Amino acid sequence: MGEEGKSKKSKGKEGKGNFQLKTPKGTRDWQGEDVVLREQIFSTITDVFKRHGGVTIDTPVFELRDTLTGKYGEDSKLIYDLADQGGEICSLRYDLTVPFARFLAQNATQNIKRYHIAKVYRRDQPAMTKGRMREFYQCDFDIAGAYDPMLPDAEILRVIKEVFEGLPGWKGKFTIKINHRKILDGIFQICGVPEDKIRTISSAVDKLDKSPWDEVRREMVDEKGLEPAIADKIWEYVQLKGGREIVTQLQEKPEVVANESAKQGLEDMAILCDYLAIFDVLPQLSIDMSLARGLDYYTGVIYEVVTEGSAPKVTSANAAKKEKKPKKSNDPDEDRSNDPTLGVGSVAAGGRYDELVGMFSGKPIPCVGISFGVDRIFSITKARNTETVVRKTEVDVFVMAFGGGKDFTGLLPERMETAKQLWDAGIKTEFTWKAKPKWQKEFQVSEKGGIPWAVILGDDELKQGKVKLKELGLEEGHPEKNGVLVDKANLVQELKERLARGKSESAELPDRTVA
């Protein structure tokens, strides 16, 4: 065999033998009930955004690399860089906030209340079942413009409350952790943290929700060169958490109010608490001095939403010794879904970033916003709703034919005409694409799709100008178990009335699709 023949054979073997059909690590396909649930999450969030006057925008999925550089602190290493294409060096967007700031600067937009729902990309170590992915959706709501202090911030926090109280299974099961960058920076100054280490020490403090103090202290001292005494003094402050009394406690400390940054931050928080009392958000709020948010662009109030499952499971010291820890892997691409030291993380996060737009245009525009992590919200919502029946489609009516024997035609034209009649009326309808379907198969299809109603056509009924309307899933003994005859001319009106009433709860399947 010649070299050319060997080459072709080798290439063919490589193509068939080594090619693997799979999604890239940290990504997944979506289908079936998962899509339905995710769409309901989108719908709930979007409804709240619109209720508060949000207008939507869209930006490219990739940005010039220089646009993203220097905005994310230590997380910059997670940015996906793209190959040079025609002399432009680009990267996939890491979040929706920096592209929004670029949009404001480029279009000289001074005031906007915008929302944006789109995919973002991070080359992080994935944990797929916990909603930690490399390609995932964010739903952002931001208010840009100069307004009186803390009013936009209060409305953003009200948006957070409305979103999570609108999601299935979330009411009463979430906490909004909040802090203020100026308070935190002031505390670091009081404790003696060098100015050039404040951001990196903030990143270490932010890990206290998932790592014990001893580990965070070791990072500060051994890895980041902080004096041990300074680290211990920081610990005295970052343990503080609670309601609005935390603001009062800090305002009563002379060394705190003597620091201009901390004093200003506490004044902001006091005003914000007054506004949140009016908006009925205080019961969901936890003022937490350990919340730091690692991103560099935050300048004021910062917050994140946590729930059961956000943090890794906590075990006692004795149990931790006995528990078999997972082997640490040097592979940054390995999925960590089974790692007990890893939780889902925060399900939403944001804050005030008054200087980010100015980095692009030189003209600062005050901004504050929130970003909802849909995939993390999805993973927790799905786990909480394991017994709930989810309809895979929005179809309300299945048109079928009843009959048999050699003379049965299948009534295909009649089924098509009835489907058209219902479509014209805006009723979501399907029928089987077979000329002579078996009625048992038709019922199976409708039941599998969770379709609540059937319109049944029969030769005898059609001769009388009637069809049978049947609500699927009724209990034995129900007076309408076998359906009711209605005039074909009145079918649309009858169906609309019954759909509006929702009929009996015994047959109603929760419709968790987007209306």
Question: 198-205 and 228-238 helices cross at what angle (nearest 10)?
Answer: 50
- State which H helix or E strand residue 352 sits in: strand 348-352
Question: Which residue, chain included where needed, has tokens 């010291």?
Answer: 317
Least confident range of 91-100, 265-274, 316-325: 316-325
- CA atoms of 473 and 451, how far apart (whole Å): 9
Beta strands in 47-100, from DSSP E residues, in sequence order: 55-56, 62-64, 90-92
pLDDT at 210 over 90: no
**Is 509 labelled as part of a ligand binding site?**
no
The region of weakest confidence among 167-181, 277-291, 378-392, 478-492 is 378-392
Find where tokens 């991103």 sit: 295
Between 478 and 246, residue with greater pLDDT: 246
Q: What is the pLDDT of residue 294?
A: 67
Q: What's the whole-number average pLDDT of the chain? A: 85
Q: Binding site annotation covers 40?
A: no
Confidence tier at 183 by pLDDT (50, 70, 90): very high
pLDDT at position 280 over 70: yes
pLDDT at 36: 85
CATH class of 397-504: alpha beta
Q: Kindly report, residue by residue over 22-65, the tens digit of the pLDDT.
A: 888 888 888 888 888 889 899 999 999 999 999 999 999 999 99
- Is the predicted pLDDT of residue 332 greater than 50, yes or no? yes
Q: Is it the case that residue 415 has pLDDT exceeding 90?
A: yes
Q: Is 68 annotated as a binding residue?
A: no
Tokens of 118: 């789109």
Find the mean pLDDT for residues 115-142.
86
The pLDDT score that the predictor gives to residue 16 is 55
Beta strands in 212-299 (DSSP E): 241-242, 285-288
| Residue 335: predicted pLDDT | 65
DSSP-derived secondary structure letter, 311: S
Question: Does residue 96 have a known ligand-binding role?
Answer: yes
pLDDT at 29: 87
Is 352 among the annotated ligand-binding positions? Answer: no
pLDDT band at 336 (very low <50, low <70, confident <90, very high): low
pLDDT at 337: 63
Residue 237 labelled as part of a binding site: no
Task: Give the residue-averaged pLDDT of 113-132.
Answer: 84
Question: Does the annotation list 396 as a binding residue?
Answer: no
pLDDT in tens, 346-358: 899 999 999 999 9
Per-residue pLDDT of 287-313, as tens digits, reads: 999 998 867 789 999 999 999 867 666
Integer Cα distance of 463 and 465 in angstroms: 5
Which of these ranges, 27-31, 74-78, 477-481, 484-488, has the smallest mean pLDDT? 74-78
Question: Among 404, 414, 410, 403, which residue's Cα sits nearest to residue 491?
Answer: 414
Please indicate if the annotation marks 248 as binding a ligand.
no
The string over 411-446, giving b where at least 16 C-beta atoms fall within 10 Å of a residue's C-beta and e elsewhere, is bbebbeebbebbeeeebebbbbeeeebebeebbeeb
* Superfamily classification of domain 32-312+333-385: Bira Bifunctional Protein; Domain 2 (3.30.930.10)
pLDDT at residue 297, rounded to an integer: 84
122 marked as binding residue: yes
61 touches 119 (CB < 8 A): yes
| Residue boundaries of the structural domains of the chain | 32-312+333-385, 397-504
Q: Residue 260, exposed/middle/buried by CB under 10 A (0-12, 13-18, 19+)?
A: exposed
